[in-house]
Amino acid sequence: MLEIKGLKVQLEDEDKQILKGVDLKVEAGKVHAIMGPNGSGKSTLSYVLSGKDGYEVTDGSASLNGEDLLELEAEERAALGLFLAFQYPVEIPGVGNMTFLRTAVNSQRKARGEEELSAKDFLQEIRAKAKTLKIDADMLKRPVNVGFSGGEKKRNEILQMAMLEPKMCILDETDSGLDVDAMKLVSEGVNALRDEGRGFLVITHYQRLLDHIKPDVVHIMADGRIIKTGGPELALEVEKNGYADILAEMA
């Protein structure tokens, strides 16, 4: 599914290396988690994979189902099936949530040479999916993320994921700003999308999200590299002892 080899990345307008050779492989049907201290490069990895400007790849590769991601525009990566759930979803006043999502769904379909979804079919689908995430009709009509609470914004991200049905989902600190109930709701939304054909990369600081979204593999990232990989028990170890032990062990 997602294959990253020796990825080195620096900021475009600053001579500062952030990723120093990342190797990672996420298989279809699996949930991988990346944990790590602040500044380890976790969010940068998610941005570089999804095509944000401002980063320069100096070495290495990243591909999705064999297609080179790094050569593509952000929208082309999305049409290939890559999805990034943002840590800070952006507010877009004046553009209705529904209009935005329909534009996104149909843009992707068009890019893949599929037929666009009719207004009626789209409406039926979004209503059903919104309901399971407890997103009401009013939230669908409102401008994208404007006036949404932290929890509403994250639920809206998951709704977009459900509507776009991506192959590879990257969740960037989806648990940040969520209370216990909201985290449960968001996690249920994610779990409902777990599927043999879909891969997940869950970026988080805390183990608690992984109580709800159970990972198959856990990676520890520090200073731009993945320094340790293990099973779910690795996350528990971090929770108990912090990163210091692992960092010391690797040094």
Partner 1 sequence: MNAVAKKIEATTARLEGMSLPAGGKWATEAREAALTRLRTMGLPDRRDEYWKYTRPDTLTQTDAPEASVLDTGEAPLFDGFDRLKVVFVDGVFDAEQSDDLSGEGLNIERLADVAAKDIHWARDVYGVLENNGQSPVERPLAALNSAFATDGVVIHVTGKVSRPVNLIYRHKSDSSDAILHHVIKLDAGAELTVLENGPAAARFNKSMEVDVADGAAFHHVRAQGRDHERRAVTHIFGRLGTESVFKSFTLTVNGRLTRNEAILELTGDDAVAHVAGACLGDGDFHHDDTVFVTHDAVNCESRQVFKKVLRNGATGVFQGKILVQPGAQKTDGYQISQSLLLDEDSQFLAKPELEIYADDVACSHGSTSGAIDEEALFYLRARGVPKDIATDLMVLSFVAEAVDEIENEDLRDEMLARLEGWLERRRD
For partner 1, the closer CB: 20 or 109 = 109
Bin 205: left if φ > 0, else alpha if -120 < ψ < 50, else beta. alpha
For partner 1, the closer CB: 166 or 215 = 166
For partner 1, the closer CB: 83 or 243 = 83
Q: SS3 for 39? A: coil
Least distance in angstroms from the C-beta of 66 to partner 1: 20
Closest C-alpha to 148, from 163, 161, 133, 162: 133
For partner 1, the closer CB: 10 or 160 = 160
Least distance in angstroms from the C-beta of 238 to partner 1: 29
Instruction: Give the DSSP H or E segment for 138.
Output: helix 137-141
For partner 1, the closer CB: 19 or 82 = 82
Under the rule (CB under 8 A), what is the footprint of partner 1?
50-53, 73-75, 77-79, 83-84, 86, 89-95, 99-101, 103-105, 107-108, 111, 143, 160, 164
Strands 55-64 and 31-35: unpaired
Q: SS3 for 60? A: strand
For partner 1, the closer CB: 14 or 59 = 14
Largest separation between any pair of C-alpha atoms in the chain: 58
Least distance in angstroms from the C-beta of 96 to partner 1: 10
Closest C-alpha to 189, from 50, 75, 85, 78: 85
Crossing angle of the two packed helices 150-164 and 180-192, in degrees rounded to 10: 0
For partner 1, the closer CB: 100 or 206 = 100
- Answer for the pair 36, 44: CB distance below 8 angstroms, yes or no: no
Rounded (10°) CA dihedral 197, 89, 63, 72: 120
- Answer for the pair 42, 62: CB distance below 8 angstroms, yes or no: no
Q: What is the distance between the alpha carbons of residues 73 and 112, in angstroms, rounded to a whole number?
A: 14
Question: In this structure, is the dihedral angle defined by the CA atoms of residues 14, 15, 16 and 21, taken in order, positive or negative?
Answer: positive
Least distance in angstroms from the C-beta of 142 to partner 1: 12
